[in-house]
Amino acid sequence: MTRQYELVERVLSYQPTADEAMLNRAYVYAMKAHGNQKRASGAPYFSHPLEVAAILAEMRLDNATIATALLHDTIEDTDITRGEIDTMFGAEIGTLVDGLTKIKKLDLVTKKAEQAENFRKLLLAISSDIRVLLVKFADRLHNMRTLEHMKPAKRKTIAEETMDIYAPLAGRMGMQWLREEFEDLAFRWLNLNAYATVVERLKILRAGNQGLIDEIEGELTTKLKDAKVKGVVAGREKKPYAIWNKMERKQISLEQLSDIYAFRIVVPKVPDCYQALAVVHTTWRVVPGRFKDYISNPKQNDYQSIHTTIVGPRHQRVELQIRTQLMHSIAEYGVAAHALYKDLDGKKKAKGQAPSQDSNAYRWLRHLVGMLLDSDNPEEFLEHTKLELFQDQVFCFTPKGRLIALPRGANSIDFAYAVHTDVGNTCVGARINGRSMPLASMLRNGDEVEIICSEAQAPPAAWQNLAVTGKARSAIRRATRDAARAQYGDLGREILDRAFRRSGKTFTEEVIGEALGRLSQKTAEDVMAAVGRGELASADVVRAVFPEEGPPDRPKRRRKVKRTGEGWFGLRKVMGLKFRLPGAGGRGRPEGAEGAVGIPIRGLRGDLPVNFADGGAIPGDRIVGILTPGQGITIYPIHAHALKAFDEEPERWIDITWDIDEDDAQRFPAKIEVMAMNEPMSLAQVASVIGEADGNIENIKMTNRVADYTEMLIDLEVWDLQHLNQILAGLRAKDVVSSAARAED
């Protein structure tokens, strides 16, 4: 275990102005707070925060971060409060410690929801100070290094979370060494047999390639020296997880891997990178398709290097990375490297400072937090985060040359939202490399994408299934919610207008605004949307706006209609209207239609029974028949969604048309949806319109009944499409009817 004086001396070695007294005070305070607490290994609990602080000292972070590491578990695992931390160490350290404290005593339904909620809280804290993440990384790293002391079930959970979230997040933050160690430690416990196999095979391969790394390092160094290029060459063997992951992804054996050994050339300046590349490419044969220039096109996490693969000494494939010293620091330490290099040109070294908040990696993290604020629930956000973390990248360009980095597999929809949310919301088409292409077309490296927009466009909800990036999905979902909210708001406005008129009052948004407190809503739009969704009764709104008038008179109780064995007989008797009883002539077919008899349709054989699909079809509809062996033919209107189920069975489709005899007219089944206000006699008015238009009601079903309106699903019989449209127009003309339309199947 690291000793107190060793930790302080290490910090002072790179930050001479560090507050030594504060570090000693934090050490003693945390040690006393944890007291006799023990870890699962039996070691004193305080050994954990001390080792976390030591890891951060190796990364050369400022003294406030080191003190936070020592104190990071005090609020969560002891009786220490945030106020006490603020008093003893200041608000800066108090805020950092609080950001690392997990949510306690939270009533969440699932363990996944708890994990997601904790991750939300962590990211919100990170968005204000990146040091929270660095302490969390060090905390998780020490826990992973001592994972063998945990119970198997707990060990598996922690390893999965590390592999799913913390390893890729470390990669996105540019901390490659940390990502590799996270992945290797998690791999060891998630797939112990595979880990042991890879390690054993590496030992055998290493014995057969004795001295290979030294030989390649020596030859590369000599060639660079001869060309008068200053550079340091270092070789290394890839980690077990990286090797196993590539074997699994490409379905190849260990012997077939060409890049088990990777070499790095570190040079002083950017021009030296390209001089070193020239030396390498003119000396050894290049492997085609294995060159990438991340210096001219940096990754989103600020990573910069030239990647190439050559056939080097012993005819061995060698993977090379060429970079400057500054690029190397950022590649290894990512956002933490900004604590060492204040200026990215490397001219000024500022040791011991808090990491810069200006890196691309940190901007990506703030974008992720923006998604968090738009997501509906923590679990959904966690899934989008994983989606963002695990995707590799492609680089595309706007027509003006702006570089847009996207996850591999992204399409033009994702590109449009990456440019700007408004561009995505109004997108109607795309040109990729000058050619008009479908929006769902997958983008490739180097594509130039031009987005075509229209102010009349709104993103369809179906785009959520096409989009790859979390930003695009989040924006589409938000636009869909806003559109639905606007529809509910319009309905609520209409409902409230009627309710106010019944009470002899005038409805305005201003009068609603005066009662927002009593209605527990933020805006008048919220009130109208709540009424439209049925969450708030219009009568409650009227009482909240005019509380001095008291409750309205209780309406007279209406006589109940008794249903009999004759279906709608009681309702039919009360209203004095003609209804056809359910079942007469068979559901969904014209009265008296048995088999093909009496059904005026061309293209059918006379010996086949015929039925209409649920929702019906009427003369004027384009229709198609679907043959079901042993059951006959079912008639569908050509727009029926149910026909999608038969797309792969063209042999069942039968081309049919109507053959109407005007002298022998008959009715056909149709289904409509009506939304009516909950007012006395509203149902009677609906039925009256249908009856007066010579329509025949078969069945009425209330599908959604709330305080202010009722949704009805009505089965009726009509002569043809023109007749149905006449009925719908008559219904829409009634004040009690908010909407009337033909029902989808």
Active site residues: 76-77
CA 536, 541, 542, 543 torsion: positive or negative? positive
- d(C-alpha 706, C-alpha 719), whole Å: 33
Query: Where are the alpha helices (H) located in 227-359, listed in sequence order?
Result: 240-250, 270-283, 325-333
* Per-residue CA distances from 453 to 424, 427, 428 (Å): 8, 4, 5
CB 186 within 8 A of CB 170: no
Count of H-run helices and E-run strands, the chain: 30, 21
What is the DSSP code string of 280-298? HHHHSEEPTT--EETTTS-
* Identity of the amino acid at 484: A
Neighbours of 41 (CB within 10 A): 12
CA distance 111 to 117: 10
Structure tokens at 472: 């695009």
> Which H/E stretch holds residue 677?
strand 668-677
The two most distant CA atoms of the chain are separated, in Å, by 107
Phi, psi of 726, rounded to the nearest 5 degrees? -65, -40
The length of the chain is 745
Q: Tokens representing 268? A: 């002083």
Q: Tokens 């976390």 label which residue? A: 52
Distance CA 505, CA 119 (A): 50
Q: How open is the CA angle 79-125-143, to the nearest 5 degrees?
A: 65
Nearest-angstrom CA–CA distance, 311 and 343: 37
Q: Cβ distance 410 to 440 under 8 Å? A: no
- The 10 Å Cβ neighbour count of residue 336 is 26
Do 301 and 361 form a contact (C-beta atoms < 8 A)? Answer: yes
Q: Report which of 169, 167, 160 is spatially closest to residue 181, judged by C-alpha positions.
A: 167
What is the sign of the dihedral through the CA atoms of 17, 18, 21 and 22?
positive
What DSSP element (H or E) covers 185? Answer: helix 176-190
Within its chain, how far is the Cα of 157 from the centroid?
Answer: 22
Tokens of residue 689, six digits: 């319109």
Q: Give alpha helix (H) positions in 547-681.
A: 569-575
Cα(384)–Cα(473) distance, integer angstroms = 9
- 491: which residues sit within 8 A by CB, 6+ positions away? 531, 532, 675, 709, 738
